[in-house]
Structure 1
Amino acid sequence: MISTKYSTKNMCQIFGITRETLRHYERLGLLNPRFNPDNGYREYSYWDVCSLIDILKYRSLGYSLSDTKDAIFELTYPQIKESLEDHIEIYSNKLIQYDLLLKKATRDLTYFRHAQDHLGEIIEAETEELFYVPYTTNPKNPDFMHMQKAFDNLQFFTTALVINGDNHDLDCYVLITEKQYADFLKLHDGVIIPKFKAVCQMIDIVGRNPADETIVEDFRKKISRKYSRTFDTIYAILVTRFYDEEKRYHQYFFVFSKL
């Protein structure tokens, strides 16, 4: 049987990689092409082709080159099976993650539409169960680690303020999300805001004014007059920041308090 040999050019064309990539894999011991004694050129065999397919497969799964080498040359059948089981778990978690992100994007879009159509209106609504972790600049603070984890998952979190509430000696600047997202991220050390009926308003801060308790003063006055009572804790969640056609800077905050 005639054994097919592939040149460096053939390998680059077939797999869409560069000569330097092939040389790098060779230096790492991942590929071992034969040198033709007649012309000194490399010749890649069926084994090299299969190895390169494995290299690209393991790299696509997120393996490092070192782990890829182990997978090709060292792993036993039970170990490969265990690795595949691990990836099934990883992909299952990814499916859950993207499903949650789809839900979050859909919910965020409702806030954007509300801001477009009902900016400044006072309404009543049921809140979701929320979860927040405070900002802290002290690495020794137990909340610092949780804040960092929230920063690592900002696709789920946004900035918020908790104003005049029981902050448990925390700063009022927080990273907030729905509790279901925090549960998925296994973030349990934070403050939970149970569901409640709320009075809400989407407000627009024009310019680069700092977001502090002054942004909700007008909201507090309006709802106090409307409901003939005082309101303690006010939450202000950042929805978006943007420039308009006149290059003015806007900050949309969704502010609410418990009825």
Structure 2
Amino acid sequence: MGDSPQMYGRVKTCRDVLIYRLGERMLVVGCDSSGGVGPKPLDMVNVSGYVVGRYVARVALMEVASTGAKPICLVNTSCVEPKPLGEEILRGVRDEVEEAGLGPIIFTGSSEKNFQVQQTATGVVVIGVAEEGQLRIGVSQSGDVIMALGRPYVGEEVVAHESEVADVQDLRMLLEDDSIHEVIPVGSRGIAHEATTIAQDSHLTLKLQSTPNVDLNKSAGPSTVLLASAQTSAIKRLRKKLRKPISIVGHLN
């Protein structure tokens, strides 16, 4: 007999990831791109290729890992020359993966070998796998508080305020905490948008704080903020445990 049609196909989510059912396993695909940031003459924000690689990899890794999936493959597509900038970006990508501590990941990628470019552009795709029961999507609960870890920064602000920026180590700590139900990275669409995503996936109603101590609509650039749905009773303990700023942004009902 053939496989049931329900064993294969796309899984609906409001998140910025593609989830595809493969029998009893889930394939999770996340990506990020960066343009105009780097050491090239026409770049809008001047940073090293290494920094570009770190952040573009971080975003895609957090998008996939936050779902509960294990990243297994990373694709780096750099629209710059292989040497020196392409290698510098890839070094940043590899260091971010190693520091993330998410286990062995295989790499592939490509760079521009035909033309000289005057502006930095690169992208990363991360592919992960998970058993169906391991997915951390749509599992928030009524009564949960939505907290933001980190601050929303974009462009040169990111480097200037690096100590307040969420990273993969923060994500791992959140996912390993029993009081945390769901985690989602925040990017260019802001905290309010991603808080709504958490609520929609769990079929709950979101009530945002009327006077939050963080901008709910500002771009968080390369995922400088992580949102988490958590038990209200755990917030005091989490403030002591986590080393980044925490803001309460809303509640779920």
TM-score band, normalised by the shorter chain? under 0.3
Greater length-normalized contact order (CA 8 Å, ≥ 6 residues apart) = 2
Q: Comparing both structures, which one devotes a greater share of its residues to strand? A: 2
Greater C-alpha Rg = 1
TM-score, normalization by structure 1:
0.22
TM-score, normalization by structure 2:
0.22
Q: Comparing both structures, which one devotes a greater share of its residues to helix? A: 1
